[in-house]
Structure 1
């Protein structure tokens, strides 16, 4: 972890970050600690104080990593993750989330990890270690403060492995993304905007999903997805 500053100094590594926290002074402090690109390799490209602001800024800037507080006005970090799910699912350049919170409660940790965050660190972390964690998350690794990893291991170890779903396996990754958004009640135009594709492409994906799952309409599709807890 002592090498965290090296990426910025070498010019070889850069990571674009959005800070999401409802305390302005904390955001300012983090920005001062990690946001000197030439020193750390981290560029802070946006900030947000609530769920709506977060979704807007993340969608507009498409950062590599989002530092996400758990408790936010408008639904909390889990709601940000839910609304940004399509951005996390982009195969070529996904947006990845690292929870950064004062809370070390097991339910908070498990909630955001189930929501799609790649890690969870507490606000007692040093600036050097935070920079190192950001680069690890950018690489797709999971990062936790030492004490918190046990919560996640216990939570997932106590859950039976899900059975293989042959029907779901027939769908491509993009078809699964469209399926989830349809099941959540999104209109075709909204899905097209979220996934950066045309309405016609959305329609093609929906038709393919209905055909592969042998369903007749979006209402049956919604029930199918809900029964499998995909929504």
Structure 2
């Protein structure tokens, strides 16, 4: 039997935390909860969860909310990934937690099953980032409608196929979804992703997403 995914739930509303725990799938094991920044940092240090479900707006700390939790907790929690779960879908909030190190961002309108799948995706090393929210992020970076990304020296290192794979991966597609979209094998996708990360001197899909967003390539 597959081991459950350990999760810490961080939200300043206890009723929401309780409801979320009840709605999550059986393969999710909530090992801790927190309602403010300082308690969240402590909970991550204590439980070392695989994933932290993190609200963006939290009391306490230095007023940095979820982004502050990531900045303070992540250095000592190399095996923990952070997934933002918020009622907010504003570009400012999305950009803030992604820059801090979140692996994804979903809204509280998601069902328990959708949140559980998102947790599993993030725990597996992939990103969860909806195209709608990606649009808000692009707006925040000042991308004009229909504006084409400026080709720079880094992008020139990639082949045409690697650019296609890069854009899909940065949007949060799984390897299987990329393979289906481009009519290639999953193994070929893996090879292209490795090449993209190597050529761009990046170490993860999360870094690739941030790189692509900053260059308005999504």
Common topology (TM > 0.5):
yes
TM-score range, shorter chain: 0.5 to 0.7
Pick the aligned partner of 2:30 from 20, 44, 48.
44
C-alpha separation between the residues in 2 aligned to 1:79 and 1:141? Answer: 22
Q: Pick closer, same or farther for the CA change 1:147–1:46 going to 2, 3 Å.
A: same
> What residue is the counterpart of 1:69 in the other structure?
55
C-alpha separation between the residues in 1 aligned to 2:134 and 2:76? Answer: 25
Residues 122 and 145, structure 1, Cα contact 8 Å, conserved in 2: no
- Pair 1:16-2:3 in alignment: no
Name the SS of the counterpart of 2:136 in structure 1.
helix
Name the SS of the counterpart of 1:82 in structure 2.
helix
C-alpha separation between the residues in 2 aligned to 1:24 and 1:58? Answer: 18
Shift of 1:25: 0.2
Larger Rg: 1
Name the SS of the counterpart of 2:42 in structure 1.
helix
Shift of 1:15: 0.5
> What residue is the counterpart of 1:82 in the other structure?
71
Gaps of 5+ in 2: 144-148, 155-218
The count of corresponding residues between Structure 1 and Structure 2 is 146
Report the TM-score, using the length of structure 2 for normalisation.
0.61
Pick the aligned partner of 1:27 from 8, 14, 17.
17
C-alpha separation between the residues in 2 aligned to 1:161 and 1:81? Answer: 32
Name the SS of the counterpart of 2:17 in structure 1.
helix
Gaps of 5+ in 1: 1-10, 165-231
C-alpha separation between the residues in 2 aligned to 1:111 and 1:46? Answer: 24
C-alpha separation between the residues in 2 aligned to 1:148 and 1:142? Answer: 13
For the aligned residues, what is the CA RMSD?
A: 2.5
C-alpha separation between the residues in 1 aligned to 2:92 and 2:139? Answer: 12
Structure 1 outlier segments of 4+, above 4 Å: 153-164
Structure 1 residues 53-64: aligned runs within 5 Å:
53-64=39-50
> What residue is the counterpart of 1:112 in the other structure?
97
